[in-house]
Amino acid sequence: MREARVLGTVRSWPGAVEIRVSVDGAEAAALAYPALVGTPVEGDVVLLNTSAVDLGLGTGGYHLVVAIPGRLPPDAPGPGHIVKARYTPHQAAVLGVSEEASPYAAVMASAVSVSSMPVVVADLHSALPAVLAGVLHARPGTRVAYVMTDGGALPLWLSRTVPALRPHLAGTVTAGQAFGGDLEAVTLHEALLAARHVLAADVTIVTQGPGNLGVGTPWGFSGVAAGDAVNAVAAVDGVPVASLRISDADPRERHRGVSHHSRTAYGRVALARAHVVVPSLPEPLASDVGRDLASSGIADRHEVVRITADGLLEALRRSGFPLSTMGRGLDEDTAYFVAAAAAGAHAAGLV
């Protein structure tokens, strides 16, 4: 924890404000969530959590504003009493989509199935815009909902991708401990039902938020929950569509071909049968992917769907969506984004 002084505002996007601060005799970037701490202005003294930056973690280089001690935020408005980020100092009381005070309580009370809605599951937040581009390329006008799970950032407000996609989304749902979506759900299952019955989605995309957690082992990665998401989709009668994490550009050997995270999530964790989408790829990557699917058990456990990648790269370029994964853009890691777009295109064809 460090005390700092606000030097000015840099920019803002829905739910977040980026500021410059003077802390420990140096100038730095910090991020505030106004709904939790209020809106900092030049001259304010703020309390910062600097641990992620000090540890060199992937928070975008931000310190996080804990409080503006001299000017507390107003009490949270509204009747919601679903608490997320529970028992932390920033626990947030939100209106759950199914609770009595919700305008959707009656709809959700009778919602038990998503009636074969295709749901694309991916392990990284960076896959979201590529999946969406694939859906809209294959079936323009499709209503697409985004469900954010709680494996990465808890506030959806951290994402700058979601605001850029807003005009093309039917809405957002935050599940589990995640919060800040258009709708708030207690579980992923409830979030999927809300996407279908409240947002009237034709297709839903499920990923964790930005800022995933991993330690380099097959099981020590928050995105392994993509396998749990496949099971949740099946439990509410959806059609799980697995987006593979494929790369020939990642410098880490464990992520070349089909990432070991996809191999673990879909080859070990996902017990329900999913459509695993593989786009046409150049050699030797295509052969590497085929071997990985076989050795991981994915080819036996799921339905592997091979589709042509024709038009997907052009669709990604035309979309104008922000495309970046681990600091690499579309031209640097083409296979990653094309694989995600292929999953979206296939899901659109199932509508």
Please, where in the chain does CATH 2.40.50.220 lie? Answer: 2-67
- Residue 120: C-alpha distances to residues 82, 203, 340 (Å): 27, 8, 9
pLDDT value of position 255: 67
The C-alpha atoms of residue 16 and residue 102 are separated, in whole angstroms, by 25
Q: What pLDDT, on the 0 to 100 scale, is given for residue 41?
A: 96
- pLDDT at res. 254: 64
Give the pLDDT band (50/70/90) at residue 58: low
User: How many Cβ atoms from other residues are within 10 Å of residue 54's Cβ?
Assistant: 10
Residue-level pLDDT at 260: 87
| Res 253: pLDDT | 64
Q: Is the pLDDT of residue 286 over 80?
A: yes
In this structure, what token pair is assigned to residue 184? 């708030």
Q: Report, as an integer, the average pLDDT of 153-160.
A: 96
Task: Give the alpha-carbon dihedral of 134, 138, 142, 148, to 10 degrees.
Answer: -20
Q: 28 phi and psi, to 5 degrees?
A: -150, 165
Element (H, E) at 53: helix 51-54
Q: C-alpha 237: how far from its chain's center?
A: 22
Range with the poorest average pLDDT among 101-105, 320-324, 325-329:
325-329
Question: How far is 124 from 261, CA to CA, in rounded Å?
Answer: 10
pLDDT at 344: 98
Asked if the model's pLDDT at residue 109 lies above 90, the reply is yes
Question: How high is the pLDDT of residue 219?
Answer: 86
* Preceding amide of 284 cis, omega within 30: yes
Query: Which residues pair with residue 9 across a beta bridge?
Result: 19
Architecture of domain 105-349 in CATH? 3-Layer(aba) Sandwich (3.40)
Looking at residue 331, its amino acid is: D
Which of 194, 199, 223, 225 has its CA nearest to residue 211? 223
**Separation of alpha carbons 145 and 205, rounded Å:** 6
User: Distance (Å, rounded) from C-alpha 289 to C-alpha 16?
Assistant: 39
Distance between CA atoms of 324 and 206, rounded to whole angstroms? 18
Q: What is the mean pLDDT of residues 276-301?
A: 95
Q: What angle do CA 292, 330, 13 make, to 5 degrees?
A: 115
Query: Higher model confidence: residue 34 or residue 212?
Result: 34
Contact assessment for residue 102 and residue 95, using Cβ atoms and an 8 Å cutoff: yes
The CATH code of the domain at 2-67 is: 2.40.50.220
Check: pTM over 0.85? Answer yes or no. yes
Residue, of 21 and 74, whose pLDDT is higher: 21
In this prediction, residues 217-238 reach a mean pLDDT of 92
- Model confidence at 252: pLDDT above 80: no
Residue 179 reports pLDDT greater than 90: yes
Residues contacting 287, CB < 8 A, separation 6+:
none
Specify the range with the lowest mean pLDDT, choosing from 71-75, 197-201, 263-267: 71-75
Q: Over 80: is that where the pLDDT of 143 sits? A: yes
- Rounded to an integer, the average pLDDT of 99-127 is 97
Please state the rounded mean pLDDT for residues 251-273: 87
pLDDT score of 327 more than 90? no
Domain with CATH 3.40.50 in the chain: 105-349
Mean pLDDT over 335-340 rounds to 96
Instruction: Provide the percentage of residues in the chain whose pLDDT is more than 70.
Output: 98
Rounded to whole angstroms, the maximal C-alpha distance in the chain is 61
